[in-house]
Copies of this chain bind each other. A is one copy, B any other.
């Protein structure tokens, strides 16, 4: 008996999409079969369609970011499972512009495979298609991990920047170049003090001793193999900040766009408190916090934890961040 308010893991996804489409009929349209969401009113200046997607359970990512100035389409898979290629293929065909379609893909095997199969089908149909792969999670930056760093929180930042760039009429090559630059300048790190509840079993996905945090947890509850005492939040945040900045090689005076992200069960009070410590840690290192988003935007069901992300920025990127966008989970 799952404690989620849903009849089954599949109903969790399907009812959510139906309700989402009802609640945001002014912004998005749902195509239930094969399963994707498109923007009602993308900017007419766009020549490239922006498509993302991935397993469900990370809401508001990605469907919440479908809208003007953001994504043209999102393909939600089952809980923690990538969408199948037909979803990606159909969504891409629906929103491809004269300049083709760009896939924003988090670096997971399943996502890569399904987006890759869809890309082959699109190219077969004569639709130009390229991909930006997000791999920001420093916890998976290890020689033991052949697949490379996972894609996590910075995906939200990337989608915003690419959306604003697409609105300027940028072509596919320019968007790929921008996306790769943003990805290269982005890192994240996540911790959890309690696992999410598995919708399949109704039990916590893993157990942690009280007072311990899993340091470097993944957004599907992948354990890191590293626990540490929670201790002082300020200390934890300072250590996490150090890893981000170290991995990015950020020098004093450089500027970042930051994301303080809740993983599901973390309260707004905790996130803002964490931000207080994060801002102090960045200031201590001489890094300029140019913009910040505090909220639960890339979640892991009801996990009790948070992630910190930093993306190196400049005047151009910050202007893209500030550009107007109207999506269910983003209004500015």
List chain A positions with a Cβ less than 8 A from chain B: 1, 3-7, 11-13, 15-20, 22-23, 56-57, 59-60, 64, 193-194, 202, 210-211, 230, 232-233, 236, 260, 264-277, 279, 292, 294, 299, 301-302, 304, 306, 331-332
User: Nearest-CB distance from A28 to chain B (Å)?
Assistant: 12
Given contacts A15-B277, A275-B19, A276-B22, contact A270 B4 (CB under 8 A): yes
Q: Tell whether, in the assembled complex, residue A267 and residue B1 are in contact, meaning their CB atoms are under 8 Å apart.
A: no
Residues of chain B within 8 A of A5, CB atoms compared:
193, 230, 233, 236, 266, 270, 273-274, 306
In whole Å, how far is A59's beta carbon from the nearest beta carbon of chain B?
A: 4
Q: What is the CA–CA distance of A211 and B277 in the complex, to the nearest angstrom?
A: 39
A212 to B29 Cα, complex, angstroms: 35
Which residue of chain B is the closest to A211 with respect to CB atoms?
B1
A184 to chain B, nearest CB (A): 26
Residues on the B chain within 8 Å of A59, using CB: 267-269
The reply to whether B302 and A304 form a contact with Cβ atoms under 8 Å apart is yes
A3 adjacent to B304 (CB under 8 Å): yes
Contact present for B20 and A267 (CB under 8 Å): no
Decide if A276 touches B19 in the complex (CB within 8 Å): yes
The 22 listed contacts between A and B (C-beta, < 8 Å) are A3-B193, A3-B230, A5-B193, A5-B236, A5-B273, A7-B233, A11-B273, A12-B269, A15-B269, A16-B268, A18-B273, A18-B276, A19-B273, A20-B272, A20-B294, A59-B269, A64-B268, A202-B210, A264-B265, A265-B265, A267-B299, A267-B301
* Contacting pair A56 B15 (CB below 8 A): no
B57 touches A269 (CB 8 A): yes
Chain A's interface: helix, strand, loop or mixed, by majority?
mixed
Contacting pair A275 B232 (CB below 8 A): no
| Contact (Cβ within 8 A) A275 B6 | no
* Nearest CB in chain B: distance from A260 CB, A: 8
- Contact, CB under 8 Å: B269 / A6: yes
CB distance from A330 to the nearest CB of B (A): 9
Pick from B15, B267, B301: contact of A276, CB under 8 Å: B15
**Bound form: Cα–Cα A18–B57 in Å:** 30
Chain B neighbourhood of A267, CB < 8 A: 4, 57, 59, 264, 299, 301-302
Residues of B within 8 A of A268 (CB): 16, 59-60, 64, 299
Instruction: Give bound CA distance, A296 to B266, whole Å.
Output: 12
How close is A236's CB to chain B, nearest CB, in angstroms? 8
With A and B bound together, what is the CA distance between A273 and B199 in angstroms? 15
Q: Which residue of B lies closest to A329 (CB)?
A: B268
Instruction: Verify A3–B194 contact, CB threshold 8 A.
Output: yes
- Per the bound structure, the CA–CA distance linking A23 and B276 in Å amounts to 9
* Minimum Cβ distance to chain B for residue A94 (Å): 21
How many Å lie between the Cα of A23 and that of B278 in the bound state? 11
